[in-house]
């Protein structure tokens, strides 16, 4: 089953969810690691380049995920009280929007000096004209706050998934691991 049904995610959503999750966790670790390197560290340029390249690919994945979600039937949630369904919906929105904001701020830091972003020597993403004074450091601070905020949301999201699996014993997590019939 590649597409989602009303009752379960299909392989395409499942693959994209876990690819996005592992890449984002890796990007968070890489981000913290690279900003601690000095300019003369042999890995300084390489790690920054890797962070930017993966970041642009994540942007492509983000767009594909949103398009794919809208091409598929809407999933019926597992039975839960109304406030929990609302909280889950709010959390998914929060995750999508925080990720999008991280991708946009990352782009704005990287292109603040007018230079385009080379994505693994595959293609280049052009820069926009500078938007604000001190763009690199102002947006850099916002990017950092967003990254930590995202990790907070992911932590709650992770706990919610465990609660569904171990306490409610429903299929919420199982259907994101393997399509359920
Ligand atoms: C960086 C890490 C992660 C991100 C950014 C993320 C993001 C998301 C998003 C945006 C959705 C909504 C999908 C939709 O629109 O239908 C979702 C669903 C889900 N995620 Fe994650 N996720 C992450 C990690 C995890 C982890 C570690 C787990 C479990 C251990 C998990 C379990 C789930 C489950 C069970 C759903 C389905 C919820 C439902 O059907 O209502 N996620 N995730
Ligand atoms: C979900 C995606 C992303 C995550 C989780 C993430 C995470 C981080 C983290 C944790 C830092 C270190 C912040 C600090 O301590 O100052 C950082 C810095 C940085 N990120 Fe990202 N990032 C993401 C996407 C992007 C993208 C798409 C780009 C560019 C295309 C980008 C470009 C940068 C740059 C240039 C820095 C260095 C900022 C500075 O020197 O202050 N990031 N990122």
Element (H, E) at 98: helix 82-110
For residues 91, 93, 98, 104, the Cα torsion angle rounded to the nearest 10 degrees is: 170
CATH classification code of 11-176: 1.20.950
Rounded to an integer, the average pLDDT of 141-157 is 98
Q: What is the mean pLDDT of the segment spanning 33-59?
A: 96
Residues with CB under 6 A from ligand 1: 17, 20-21, 24-25, 69, 75, 77, 88, 92, 95-96, 154, 157-158, 161, 172-173, 176
Tell me what pLDDT residue 102 has.
Answer: 98
Mean pLDDT of 49-73: 98
Specify the ligand 2 atom closest to the Cα of 55. 27
Residues 60-76: what's their mean pLDDT? Answer: 97
Domain ranges within the chain, ordered by starting residue: 11-176
Q: Does the structure show a pLDDT above 90 at 181?
A: no
State pTM to two decimals. 0.95
Surface-to-core class of residue 181, CB atoms within 10 Å of its CB (0-12 exposed, 13-18 middle, 19+ buried):
exposed
Secondary structure letter of residue 176 according to DSSP: G
Rounded to the nearest angstrom, the distance between the alpha carbon of 154 and the centre of ligand 1 is 8
Given pLDDT bands bounded at 50, 70 and 90, which one contains residue 131? Answer: very high
- Nearest residue CA, atom 8 of ligand 2? 31
Give distance in angstroms: CA of 163 to centre of ligand 2: 31
99 Cα nearest atom in ligand 1: 5
Question: In whole angstroms, how large is the CA radius of gyration of the chain?
Answer: 19
pLDDT at 85: 96
Q: Nearest 5 degrees, angle CA 110-CA 115-CA 121?
A: 85
What percent of the chain lies above the pLDDT cut of 70? 100
Q: How far apart are the CA of 106 and the centre of ligand 2, in A?
A: 5
Measured in angstroms, how far is the CA atom of residue 48 from the centroid of ligand 2?
Answer: 9
Separation of alpha carbons 87 and 53, rounded Å: 33
| For residue 133, pLDDT beyond 90 | yes
Cα gap 170→181, rounded to integer Å:
14
Average pLDDT, integer, range 19-41: 97
Distances (CA, A) of 125 to 28, 47, 111, 121: 22, 18, 9, 11
Query: What's the CA dihedral at 130, 131, 137, 138 to 10 degrees?
Result: 180
């Amino acid at each position: 089953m590649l597409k989602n049904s009303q009752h379960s995610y299909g392989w395409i959503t499942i693959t994209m969810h876990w690819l996005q999750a592992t890449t984002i966790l890796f990007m968070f670790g890489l981000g913290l690691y690279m900003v601690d390197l000095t300019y003369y560290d042999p890995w300084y340029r390489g790690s920054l380049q890797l962070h930017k390249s993966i970041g642009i690919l994540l942007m492509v994945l983000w767009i594909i995920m949103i398009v794919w979600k809208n091409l598929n039937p809407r999933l019926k949630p597992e039975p839960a009280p109304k406030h929990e369904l609302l909280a889950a919906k709010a959390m998914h929105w929060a995750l999508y929007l925080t990720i999008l904001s991280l991708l946009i701020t990352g782009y704005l830091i990287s292109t603040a000096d007018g230079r385009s972003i080379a994505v693994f020597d595959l293609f280049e993403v052009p820069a926009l004209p500078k938007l604000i004074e001190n763009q690199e450091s102002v947006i850099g601070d916002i990017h950092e706050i967003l990254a930590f905020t995202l990790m907070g949301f992911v932590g709650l999201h992770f706990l919610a998934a465990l609660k569904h699996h171990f306490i409610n014993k429903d299929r919420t997590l199982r259907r994101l691991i393997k399509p359920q019939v």
